[in-house]
Amino acid sequence: MTDTTLFEQGMATRRSVLGDHHVDTATASMSDFDKDFQSFIVEGAWGSVWSRPGLTRRERSLVTLALLAALGHEEEFAMHVRATANTGASPSDIKEALMHVAVYAGVPTANAAFRIAKQELAKRQETAE
């Protein structure tokens, strides 16, 4: 069962953070098998948590990056590095968040995250030029 208000707010927030292209691609690949899961993500993560007051999108972005890096979720981490173009988190912000990851989650974990962040930020720079 879908909460229409949470779903609509979630989709608006998701599009704002991840961009239309990402959301359209994810939506197009949705099937009957994962549509309930996708609704859960849109309502829970994007409609409830990312849409809450209290933290800015930039702050939420940095918390998300640190958590994803610490947990070793490289694909999601890369996606959220790309999303910083929309959240206002700067490369310097990302670096500082990853320094915390190094202290609290380990140097090898942060090393992997720095590698991914450098790749994603370089791609963004190439596109901008």
The structure tokens listed for 65 are 């990056």
The structure tokens listed for 79 are 């996606």
Residues 6+ apart with CB under 8 A from 65: 77, 80, 81, 84, 89, 94, 97, 98, 113
Average pLDDT over residues 17-21: 97
Taking the C-alpha atoms of residue 97 and residue 58, their distance in angstroms, rounded to an integer, is 12
pLDDT in tens, 45-70: 999 999 999 999 999 999 999 999 99
Q: Is the dihedral of CA 3, 78, 19, 57 positive or negative?
A: positive
pLDDT at 68: 98
DSSP 109: H
Percent of the chain with pLDDT over 90: 95
Three-state secondary structure call for residue 48: helix
Phi, psi of 34 (to 5 degrees): -115, 10
pTM for the structure as a whole: 0.92
CB atoms within 10 A of CB 98: 24
Residue 128 scores a pLDDT above 90: no
Taking the C-alpha atoms of residue 92 and residue 57, their distance in angstroms, rounded to an integer, is 16
DSSP 72: T
- Helix ranges (H only) for 1-129 are 4-18, 20-28, 35-40, 57-71, 74-87, 91-105, 107-128
